[in-house]
Chains A and B, each alone.
Chain A
Amino acid sequence: MEWASQLCENRGLGSKMTDSKYFTTTKKGEIFELKAELNSDKKEKKKEAVKKVIASMTVGKDVSALFPDVVNCMQTDNLELKKLVYLYLMNYAKSQPDMAIMAVNTFVKDCEDLNPLIRALAVRTMGCIRVDKITEYLCEPLRKCLKDEDPYVRKTAAVCVAKLHDINAQLVEDQGFLDTLKDLISDSNPMVVANAVAALSEIAESHPNSNLLDLNPQTINKLLTALNECTEWGQIFILDCLASYLPRDDRESQSICERVTPRLSHANSAVVLSAVKVLMKFMEMLPKDLDYYGTLLKKLAPPLVTLLSAEPELQYVALRNINLIVQKRPEILKHEMKVFFVKYNDPIYVKLEKLDIMIRLASQANIAQVLAELKEYATEVDVDFVRKAVRAIGRCAIKVEQSAERCVSTLLDLIQTKVNYVVQEAIVVIKDIFRKYPNKYESVIATLCENLDSLDEPEARAAMIWIVGEYAERIDNADELLESFLEGFHDESTQVQLQLLTAIVKLFLKKPTETQELVQQVLSLATQDSDNPDLRDRGYIYWRLLSTDPVAAKEVVLAEKPLISEETDLIEPTLLEELICHIGTLASVYHKPPSAFVEGSRGVQHKRLPPRTGSGESTETPDVGQSGPSEAPPAVIPSQGDLLGDLLNLDLAPPTATVPSVQPSMQMGAMDLLGGGLDSLLGGDIGGSPSMGAGLGAAPAAMPASLGSAPAVGGGLGDLFDLGGGVGMPTGSYVAPKTVWLLAMKAKGLEISGTFARRGGIIQMDLSLTNKAMSVMTDFAIQFNRNSFGLAPAGPLQVLTPLSPNQTIDVSLPLSTSGPVMKMEPLNNLQVAVKNNIDVFYFSCQYPLSLLFVEDGKMDRQVFLATWKDIPNDNEAQFQIKDIHLNSDVASNKLQGSNIFTIAKRTVEGQDMLYQSVKLTNGIWVLAEMRIQTGNPNYTLSIKCRAPEVCPFVYQCYELVLKN
């Protein structure tokens, strides 16, 4: 061995052809030899030895024992050797922190070197050595390098700040490096700017609340200028950073879009995708009637199509993103169906993604072509691809009604091929077609039945059993068919067992005479011999239904089925919005929010699309968009609602087949919050309701559409949110607009917005229930937690018809005040639970106290005087109501609409004094004195009450009523 390596060295010292030999030395005592060589006097020998060390390190051998010897080689003027030693240091410094200190001097010295390449190398490497003692020494050289005259050193130093921040964030802040980094955004060199942006973005991610990036029109302008000049990678950093900016108004948004669109012609696909991200996001803010909006839409299609001629891996990334874009804005690519046709030699991952997009783009206009393609695909070799193609044919049938017949006949052709997995897949989709178009294609049942024996997958078996049960009256031997499945009942999967149970009950209800024995058999199999609780429960329910009330059983079991939706596998809208903000990144590839696959604080921050502004129909001013909470990061602590929902869901959710997938975004931690939250809901101590305000405050940003349709409230919106968490004030004419109480994202697609009103002495809770999920929602019910004034629903929640996807129902729920009482914090807090067929959801909201002001609240003058004196002065509270431009009479009338009664009015020295009384539902009297000075828009309000804690809430009501 010695010979061999000697030979190699002699043949060509340091020449390229011999480097591979370093990978082959595997003898014992190697370390000793290396040690000797490292300490050799000959430079070349040293270098060779270091190379061997690096090679061993690469293949995973532990060469940390050579640490001092390698570090000794650091002091060299040979750049190549120096780099090798640095590489070694980066790997092992952490395991030998004390020894690593030996290297510090060289680093510090190198940072002063005349050669900028050496200075940069030193600062770059130093940042990679994660040893506390070294980082201390790093600060001074880094500070110098950040202001180095050479741009190469500055761009390296900029990244080094991010490295240092990763090791010791506090140190970076204390040393003021963040400010220096911010200054670099204005650097004259575009690459320095790009790296500074990258470093700042990364640091900002781990401080979601810091205003580190501080993007404003000036910095944005600098970034856009650098965008034209820096490397392709720099352009990506800048575009990704731009995407997190929220333009002030639609004009700014448009001007940024105009300057970003040239990037769509870049050869680098990542630049193109990041530009698409910025455009997709900012487009949200442009009014749809704007010409530029249409132009922009048209500009987006060609580059997206061009991405499909990139290398396959990039095509894959592009296709996953196009899948999102097509869901968000189908109009962009609706004419480009053909480019998604699968090519023979596409890799399988590209084929599968293209197929997905084809289905999404299928429409009446192109269905013939699509079907012809899909039929081709169904004869390919890859099993997954063929299955997906078959499934796609079924989805086309459901999506485009005109094509249903052709699809069914295509599927029948495929069933004739007798290819096992094709047949099974076809049967599964035909079941869906039957559901979508009942009583139309049943003639094919005979063909399906021929293939019963070949079905070995649970899904296909379950589908076939469903078909037999559903059409039992038309299939002569339905009982025989089902009986044949029954033989191996216990070996079937749950899915098949449940389906079989239901199918046989259906059969029995349709043909009771011949099948009594069969139904007995299945019921006893399900209830007595099974240990699956779902199956047992369903069995018992059927059993009792059948034995007590066969007519009712028929109504239940043979009830008309809700329609199935046309689009399947759609991403939930709130998640889709978030993913659009992550175009080009891993999140968009996985179709999951970053929090689902990123550890720690990074990426937990949810991104949202900006609210739409401008356009005629919207009353939201750009101001609202800006002052709205969308810019502030939403609460990192989840509001108690969804936590409870997640936790309780285990016990309360009935087993259904249509539960949409739980969004991973709910998996956030903070379990200790649960204690308090649960207690207060379940009637224990008065727990705080943490982060409720934040949760509500964030709502309007996510749901710009629902706000847009609300009555005009203009700039007042902001105030409203601050005050009552979005709760308005009922007066004779005025009811606050509905605000979102429960986000769809947190409630598996159910969105609830609402408000409170008092109409003719009846308290009402006006709710809008919106189904943003893919499946139909039914079985709504509502319940309140105990609250301060005993509010409780006076009747059931009247949602009679099932709520189909994208439908909204408005309900008014009458409330009584006879419920159980428990003091809440804040006083007017109301915790609500809403149940539907999917789950139970919790949210809390705050009602205006004026809800409880009764109609007979006008106190007698004498009593008023006596009571006023009777209440101790300590109970008096004073408030200022600002900016009211009403005279006392108008104000008095307005207040009367909300059952705040003026008993007397006095005028003293140009001041109007109004004396008013209010009675709450629980009999508490509130007395008030309001002073109005002519010409002064600020009123002074003094409130006296035996229960002083209500005073601030009464004041809130005054303010709300007077200001609206």
Chain B
Amino acid sequence: MIGGLFIYNHKGEVLISRVYRDDIGRNAVDAFRVNVIHARQQVRSPVTNIARTSFFHVKRSNIWLAAVTKQNVNAAMVFEFLYKMCDVMTAYFGKISEENIKNNFVLIYELLDEILDFGYPQNSETGALKTFITQQGIKGQHQTKEEQSQITSQVTGQIGWRREGIKYRRNELFLDVLESVNLLMSPQGQVLSAHVSGRVVMKSYLSGMPECKFGMNDKIVIDKQGKGGTTDEPGKSELGGSGKQSIAIDDCTFHQCVRLSKFDSERSISFIPPDGEYELMRYRTTKDIILPFRVIPLVREVGRTKLEVKVVIKSNFKPSLLAQKIEVRIPTPLNTSGVQVICMKGKAKYKASENAIVWKIKRMAGMKESQISAEIELLPTNDKKKWARPPISMKFQVPFAPSGLKVRYLKVFESKLNYSDHDVIKWVRYIGRSGIYETRC
């Protein structure tokens, strides 16, 4: 297990040092500084073995966090723990910086004492921790016995991520479906690879211990229901734009609040959510992706000193929707001497330092097309090597989910308090962004 945990500033000075195991000596602190932070060459692995001692490190801005061990620990767990520790610290005092760490070192020691015991990670959900690690010092004495046992049962209980007794006047929840769509397309318009990686982020402001059930247009669920005999197609009216009924999800992972065995057996997503913002799930799809834009490049070499480039972009979604922050980047050869650009919409500029023409459009509605044409003057060179023609890349943001994912419902049940699913105000938002979105030319 984790033998010790150190935090250093960018100079390698120790800000926090907590040793959990007897086999880690003070010299370990120095060993990491000398061999990793002060190393002459950039360290090429997040795991370093120095004299039979293993160091795991992550960096946040210019702060180094290192976990040390002499045993064959679960490496994935150590990194997950280090990330978690960063989350906890951020939740307590904001950005992880030298100043913040120095200002909160007592708190950090208290946290480290709580979330790691003998090197074994313990409950590290901020929701739970904040109920009893407060830096108010004397709170422990004023708590009633009920309060105390409530804390301990929450920390150790099945729902360690949520405390009891949360009350809101207005029960409200926000769901953000955030997707990034990735594409590699051939010059002829053939899709070489495309995938969407998405996240469902939830902000919940709900009273009590609400039981939630989340439904989306997962193909497996919809197909099952179809077979079950329900004749009316669920959610047909909600599904606009794409006209797709359901989507095939390649893989998804869930926040620990989701009952995984239930998902595995029934594919239903049920949970008691943490309070506030958290990531409910991540998913990946590769089939039937709506590609919001299509890029049609045309490059013609006119002699040895001139290139003619014409690029058409077509938006491929409902005309009522607007795409934003569109940027098309057209690479130019290294020996470019001058560029003339004409574009119908937006602004385009040749950026010599980046070897590219950058074309920006603020907004564009669906089912439209726009065009740019450029003449590129080239310097004659002796270089026999041909220009490699890097792909044209694109950035944008659209108000729908390119995977076609739709939230079908998010039901909230809280039997003990007197509010029902209808009383909860729910907001759903879809944002699709470009990941690596490239078309070869």
Residues in chain A within 8 A of chain B (CB atoms): 14, 16-20, 22-23, 51, 54-55, 58-60, 77-81, 83-84, 86-87, 91, 114-118, 120, 124, 127-128, 130, 150-153, 155-156, 159-160, 162-163, 166, 189-192, 195, 198, 202, 228-233, 236-237, 240, 259, 261-263, 265-270, 272-274, 302-303, 305-306, 309, 311-314, 316-318, 338, 343, 348-349, 352, 379, 384, 416-417, 582, 584-590, 594, 597-599, 602-603
* A–B complex contacts, Cβ < 8 Å, 26 sampled: A16-B104, A19-B103, A23-B15, A54-B105, A79-B140, A80-B106, A195-B120, A232-B256, A236-B74, A262-B263, A266-B253, A266-B256, A268-B80, A268-B256, A273-B74, A305-B251, A306-B251, A309-B282, A311-B83, A313-B46, A314-B79, A352-B44, A584-B76, A586-B75, A598-B71, A598-B72
Residue of A58, A585, A590 near B17 (CB, 8 A) is A58
Interface residues of B in 279-310 (CB under 8 A from A): 279, 281-282, 284
**Cross-chain contact B140 with A118 (CB below 8 angstroms):** yes
In whole angstroms, what is the CA distance A190 to B158 when docked? 7
User: Using Cβ atoms and an 8 Å threshold, which residues of chain B touch A114?
Assistant: 145
The CB with the most chain A CB atoms within 10 A, among B49, B139, B279, is that of: B49
Interfacial chain B residues near A267, Cβ < 8 Å? 253-256, 279, 281-282
Known: A54-B109, A232-B80, A269-B76. 11 other contacts (CB 8 A): A18-B103, A84-B106, A115-B148, A117-B152, A153-B152, A228-B261, A262-B265, A306-B282, A311-B79, A416-B385, A590-B49
Taking CB atoms, residues of chain B closer than 8 Å to A195 are 117, 120, 122
Whether the pair A59, B22 counts as a contact (CB closer than 8 A) is no
B436 nearest CB across to chain A (Å): 7
CB < 8 Å neighbour of B74 from A59, A117, A585, A590: A585
Closest to A121 in B: B113
Which of A55, A189, A273, A384 is the one whose CB lies under 8 Å from B156? A189
Q: Is the CB of A192 within 8 A of B14?
A: no
B319, chain A: closest CB distance, angstroms: 33
Residues in B whose Cβ lies below 8 Å from that of A306: 251-253, 282, 284
Q: Which residue of A lies closest to B281 (CB)?
A: A267
Instruction: Given A117-B140, A163-B118, A261-B264, answer yes or no on A152-B152 (Cβ-Cβ < 8 Å).
Output: yes
- Check B313 for interface membership: any CB of A closer than 8 A: no
**Neighbouring A residues of B75 by C-beta, 8 Å:** 317, 584-586, 588-589
The answer to whether A150 and B106 have CB atoms under 8 Å apart is no
B73 close to chain A: CB less than 8 A: yes
A60's partner among B14, B72, B109, B137 (CB-CB below 8 A) is B14
Q: Let me know if A81 and B137 touch, CB within 8 A.
A: yes
Closest CB of chain A to B187's CB: distance in Å?
A: 14
A309 to B157, alpha carbons, bound, how many Å?
A: 30
Closest to A369 in B: B192
Specify which chain A residues have a CB less than 8 angstroms from the CB of B254 in the assembled complex.
265-267
B164 within 8 A of A: no
Question: Is B54 at the interface (CB under 8 A from chain A)?
Answer: yes
B110 pairs with A23, CB closer than 8 A: no
Q: How far is the CA of A232 from the CA of B141 in the complex (A)?
A: 31
Q: A189-B156, A231-B256, A267-B254 are in contact. Are A58 and B16 (CB under 8 A)?
A: yes
CB atoms of B105 and A115 under 8 A apart: no
CB within 8 Å of A: which B412-433 residues: none
Known contacts A116-B152, A152-B155; A159 and B120 CB within 8 A of each other: yes
Contact (A273, B122) CB under 8 Å given A150-B152, A232-B256: no
- In the bound complex, how far is the Cα of B150 from the Cα of A150, in angstroms? 10
Which of A118, A584, A585, A594 lies at the interface centre, i.e. has the most chain B CB atoms within 10 A of its CB?
A: A585
Interchain CB contact under 8 A, A602 and B71: yes
Q: What are the interface flags for B374-408 relative to A under an 8 Å C-beta threshold, 1 for contact and 0 otherwise?
A: 00000000000100100000000000000000000
Chain A residues lying within 8 Å of B20, measured Cβ to Cβ, are 128
Q: Give complex CA distance A262, B279 in Å.
A: 19
Taken together as a complex, chains A and B put the C-alpha atoms of A477 and B367 apart, in Å, by 68
B26 (CB) vs chain A CBs: closest residue: A60
* Interface of B: prevailing SS: mixed
Cβ distance B224 to chain A, nearest Cβ, rounded Å = 17
Known: A191-B156, A306-B282. A270 touches B80 (CB 8 A): yes
For A586, list chain B residues within 8 Å (CB).
47, 54, 69, 71-73, 75
- For B161, give the chain A residue with the smallest CB separation: A231
Q: How far is the CB of A125 from chain B (nearest CB, A)?
A: 8
Contacts of A599 on B, CB cut-off 8 Å? 23, 52, 70
B5 to chain A, nearest CB (A): 12
Least distance between B78 CB and chain A CB atoms (Å):
8
CB distance A198 to B256 under 8 Å?
no
Q: Which residues of A contact B148 (CB under 8 A)?
A: 115-117
CA distance A608 to B21 in the complex (A): 29
Q: Which residues of B contact A54 (CB under 8 A)?
A: 105-106, 109
Are A233 and B260 also in contact (CB < 8 A) when A316-B45, A316-B47 are? no
Asked if B250 is an interface residue, CB under 8 A from chain A, the answer is yes
Q: With A78-B137, A152-B156 as given contacts, are A198 and B120 in contact (CB-CB < 8 Å)?
A: yes
Chain B interfacial residues counted at CB < 8 A = 97
Q: Say yes or no: is B132 at the interface (Cβ < 8 Å to chain A).
A: yes
Residues of B within 8 A of A162 (CB): 118
**B204-257: which have CB < 8 Å to A?**
250-256
Asked if residues A16 and B93 are in contact (CB atoms below 8 Å), the reply is yes
Q: Which residues of B contact A91 (CB under 8 A)?
A: 19
Contacts of A268 in B (CB 8 A): 80, 256
B123, CB-defined interface residue at 8 Å: yes
A300 to chain B, nearest CB (A): 11
CA distance A236 to B73 in the complex (A): 11
Are B158 and A22 in contact, CB atoms less than 8 angstroms apart?
Answer: no
Query: A606: shortest Cβ distance to chain B, in Å?
Result: 12
The 5 A-B pairs at the shortest CB distance, nearest first, are namely A302-B251, A20-B102, A152-B152, A262-B264, A270-B76
Instruction: Determine the distance from Cα of A120 to Cα of B151 in the docked complex, in whole angstroms.
Output: 13
Contact of A582 among B49, B72, B81, B264 (CB under 8 A): B72
Cβ contacts under 8 Å, A259 to chain B = 261
B13 within 8 A of A: yes
- Distance A233 CA – B16 CA, assembled complex (angstroms): 23
How distant is the Cα of A313 from the Cα of B69 in the complex, in angstroms?
17
Q: Is B127 an interface residue (CB 8 A)?
A: no
Closest Cβ neighbor of A590 among chain B residues: B49
Known: A598-B71, A603-B71. A270 touches B77 (CB 8 A): yes
Smallest CB gap from A345: residue in B: B436
Chain A residue contacts of B52, Cβ below 8 A:
597-599
Query: Known contacts A18-B103, A118-B140, A261-B264: does B251 contact A584 (CB below 8 Å)?
Result: no
Q: Mark B1-42, 1 if CB is under 8 A from A, else 0.
A: 100000000000111110111110010010000000000000
Contacts of B265 in A (CB 8 A): 262
Chain B nearest CB from A604 CB (Å) reads: 10
Q: Which residues of B contact A78 (CB under 8 A)?
A: 137-138
Contact status B46-A585, CB under 8 Å: no
Using known A-B contacts A79-B140, A191-B156, determine if residue A313 contacts B14 with beta carbons closer than 8 Å.
no
In this assembly, does B58 line the interface, its C-beta being within 8 Å of a C-beta of chain A? yes
- Select which of B54, B58, B121, B143 is within 8 A of A233 by beta carbon: B121
Interface pair B46/A20, CB less than 8 Å apart: no
Are B157 and A189 interface neighbours, CB within 8 A? Answer: yes
Q: How many Å from the CB of A134 to the closest CB on chain B?
A: 14
Q: Is B347 an interface residue (CB 8 A)?
A: no
Cα A273 to Cα B93 with chains together (Å): 31
The answer on a CB contact under 8 Å between A80 and B123 is no
Among B56, B145, B158, B258, which residue has the most Cβ atoms of chain A within 10 A?
B158
Q: Is the beta-carbon distance between B74 and A240 smaller than 8 angstroms?
A: yes
Nearest CB on B from A220, distance (A): 16
What are the residues of chain B within 8 A of A352 when measuring CB–CB? 44
Asked, given contacts A19-B106, A117-B151, A587-B72, whether A83 binds B113 with beta carbons under 8 Å apart, the answer is yes
* B259 sits at the interface (CB 8 A): yes
Bound CA–CA A16/B52 (angstroms): 39
Q: Given the interface contacts A305-B251, A338-B193, does A80 sit within 8 Å of B47 by beta carbon? A: no
Q: Quick one: which of B153-177 are within 8 Å of A by CB? A: 153, 155-158, 160
Contact present for A79 and B77 (CB under 8 Å) = no
